[in-house]
Every structure is written in C-alpha cells, then in structure tokens.
Amino acid sequence: MIKLVISSNERDQRLDRFLKKYLKNASLSYIYKLIRKDVKINGKRGKVETMLFEGDELSLYITEEEMDKLTKSKKVVRAKKQFNIAYEDENILVAEKPFGLLTHGDSTEKKNHLANQVISYLIQKGDYVPRLERTFVPSPVNRLDRNTTGLVLFGKNNNSLQSLNLMIREKGYVSKYYLTIVAGNLKKELILKDKMEKDTNRNLVKVVPMDDEDGKIMETIARPLQYKDGYTLVEVELVTGRTHQIRVHLANAGYPIIGDVKYGRSSVNRKVEQRFKLTTQFLHAYKLYFKNAVDPVSYMTGKTIIGELPPNLQQIKKSLFE
C-alpha cells in the first residue's frame, strides 16, 4: 500500500485528475479501475469526481514496484530564456512573449516554447523544484499566437494558478488590451459583437450571422489612438477571447491589421513589407488590468501591468505616426 498526503499545490482538484497527473504512465482505464477498487481517501472509498483537499490522505493499494513504473518521469527539458519579465512576485509571473515563440508546445515544437522557458527559469531560481512536486507545474492562463507578442500570465503555485484561471475565464476580473496598427482612418470607437466559426483544418476563422446556431459569440472593443495617412494606431480590448478574434473582427469591420497574411489586405501588406520588412500581423498584448482579484492574489486588485512594444514594432509605430 502507498500513502500520499495532499499538499497545498495539489489541493482543490478532482481525484481522477490528480491521479492522471501523478500516475503519468497509467492508461485512463487503469486510473478508473484503480479508483473503483484500490484507492481510499481518509480511509473511505472515493469517486472519480471526489475533490481533494490539503491534508487528505490517499491510500493506493498497489506495490511500490508498480508505483515506480507508473510515476517514472522523463528528464526535465531545459529551454534557454528568451522572454522578458513585466512583473513577478511569489505567486505570479507575467512574461513578455517574443515574436515567433509558441506559448505551449505542440507537435512541431516540444522543447523551445514559452511555458518551458518559464519553467526552466523558475527551476534555476529555485522557485520550482520538480522532484518535490507530484502533479503541479507552473502554467500560463492565457495564450498568444506564435507571431503575436506581449504579456502572458503564469501561476507559480497551484493556489494562484487556480485563482488566475478563474479570473481569466470569468468576466469582471482581468481586462486584456492589445496595440495594433490597421489600414484605414478609424476615427471612432468600434464595439464589435458577432459570431464566429473556426475551420480547424485551415486554421481560419470567419464571421457568421448572429442567428447562426453553431457560431460562438465574440466581442471586441477597438479604440483609435492616432490616425494618419491611411493608418490607425488602435487599442483593442478583448471582451471574449476567441481564436484570431482581433484579426478577423477588425478585418470584417473594414480595418485589417497591417502585415496580417490571413485576414489582411494584400496591397497594404506589400507596402509595409517593402517599407518595414513586416511579414506578420502587427499585434501586441500590451496591458493587463486587474479590475478585481481573489485570494491568494487579491492584492492585485486595481493594478495594471504594461509590456513595451518590441523594438521593430516600436520603430514602425514611430515612422507612421511621428
């Protein structure tokens, strides 16, 4: 029999989810069979959906040899730090994601992505010690496209990660703002509300009628900051957070983002490529405003975090508007 005591970094999660993370090499069918027959919580049988709390004692009726096989981990993959830090404390890290870097790994890149770089940085600092953690890994709560730069928010411990996930998911907590340059002279604020559908195979999004039963609501607020000679510097506030939302919403409204090869205007893109060597969308997640926050990060209420434009985007902005 193996006994485990739930730590603060493991609490407030379902039994099946804890076991999936802890028994990394176990199949789902094994996990569910284990819960039915060979797991007790504080001496009592649990269910798949049973919530675990700090201090709970799990008894797993398996051998140590079997446990070793199921929990054997691969070596932690280190990644060289390429990001800047906009804000950090004991609970939160806000990274400035550079151009061309994935937020998470995917089938094409499993090592050098922002999440791995942040984990490597925290290991080096001593803020995260993998051998002491059975299931917790510092993780981002928002994501940016590979070629979108800017602020990505990470939880450094389980309590803060759960709170940040709630705050990003629910309205009334964290407002996310972007800077972009669009084609056209946008003179008044746009409040855009439409439905969208995603073509997964082509990785494209399209705007569909509001009465479309399958479409998902997307809502965007675009505020012009400066306009000159057919270009406008725009602050965009995300009300919802759909795939490619800002890019498709502004293009559909007649103000495509410069450099955007998927949704932009080819004639404009040719000009900005010739003039600035810009070949991807000018889009930067530059500000997070914490309207409200919950424990253990309630101290963030009312705080604003700002990330500077990367040098190449700053130069384009300066050339067009100064």
The secondary structure of residue 309, as a DSSP letter, is: P
Contact residues for 282 (Cβ-Cβ < 8 A; gap 6+): 180, 181, 257, 258, 259, 260, 272, 313, 316
Local structure of 194: helix, strand or coil: strand
CB atoms within 10 A of CB 187: 8
> From start to end of the chain, where are the E strands?
2-5, 13-14, 39-41, 44-45, 51-52, 57-60, 84-88, 92-97, 139-140, 149-155, 174-183, 190-199, 204-208, 216-228, 231-238, 283-290, 304-306
- Enter the tokens of residue 243: 């795939």
Cβ(122)–Cβ(128) below 8 Å: yes
Looking at the DSSP bridge assignments, the partners of residue 320 are none
Rounded Cα distance, 281 and 41, in Å: 51
Residues known to be catalytic:
145
Longest dimension (CA), the chain: 73
